[in-house]
Amino acid sequence: MAFRYRQRTVEDGDIVVPDDFNVNQREFVGEFNGYLDRDNLPQGVIGTSLIAAQTFTEVKQSTKEAVVTLSGNSIQFHELMSYSFNAEVDGLLTVDWSSNWEFSPSFSEQTTQTNSTVTTATTVTMDINGVQVGMIYRSSDARKQDAKVMYGALPVSAGNVTVTIRGRYFALNHADPKVMNVGDTYSMGFFRQILVMVLRKR
């Protein structure tokens, strides 16, 4: 490695400018990268034909067509879908989940005439390797049919990576916001779940 020299020297009394430190660090970064930059590589010399597929990013997708039904007799979280894969290198994993669902029957529709303060709702969470990175919080049955999209991201290490989507169905009293069982009469179903994962490799 060739000798590298400080481009900025900080002295007592100087105003601290972050870029002064960055300039010095770039001296080393450039050397580690073989000192290859736009000054010694002509534009367009490295084309897509020279880069193997999935060198920088890896995209995975999973679709679940089967309907997942949540019963009103439990307020616990239940797994809606999950996906596991092996990451060869460290990276940043971004996840996109989407689904549509239906409340059957709609609790709100049946209790409108009674001026009930109780409604039903669902909460959906997204975990990456056990770490919660996303949540759809209390989407009510004010719409009998609805669709949502949820995003999350987390740095991951090389090795097994698991993305898990969980949901629960419950009743909520607006006068006393406490989660309650809905009862066996009511349920909700998740239709056509789509999970898209993009690993941006380091």
Q: Which residue has the higher pLDDT, 134 or 110?
A: 134
More confident residue, 118 or 126: 126
CA distances from residue 138 to 61, 73, 167, 171, 179 in whole angstroms, order as listed: 26, 17, 10, 10, 10
Local confidence band at 113 (pLDDT 50, 70, 90 cut-offs) = very low
DSSP 8-class letter at 109: H
> Residue 82 above 90 pLDDT?
yes
Calculate the CA dihedral of residues 169, 175, 176, 178 and round it to 10 degrees.
Answer: 0
pLDDT digits (tens, 9 = 90+) for 16-50: 777 777 777 777 776 666 666 666 677 777 788 88
Q: Are 142 and 119 in contact (CB under 8 A)?
A: yes
Q: In 147-159, which positions are buried (b, 16+ CB within 10 angstroms) versus exposed (e)?
A: eeebebebebeee
pTM score, whole prediction: 0.73
pLDDT of residue 114 exceeding 50: no
- The domain limits of the chain are 1-46, 57-201
What are the pLDDT digits (tens) for 151-191? 999 999 999 999 999 999 988 877 776 778 877 788 899 99
Domain topology for 57-201: Jelly Rolls (2.60.120)
User: What integer is the mean pLDDT of 118-122?
Assistant: 83
- Rounded Cα gap, residues 8 and 19, in angstroms: 9
Average pLDDT over residues 111-119: 58
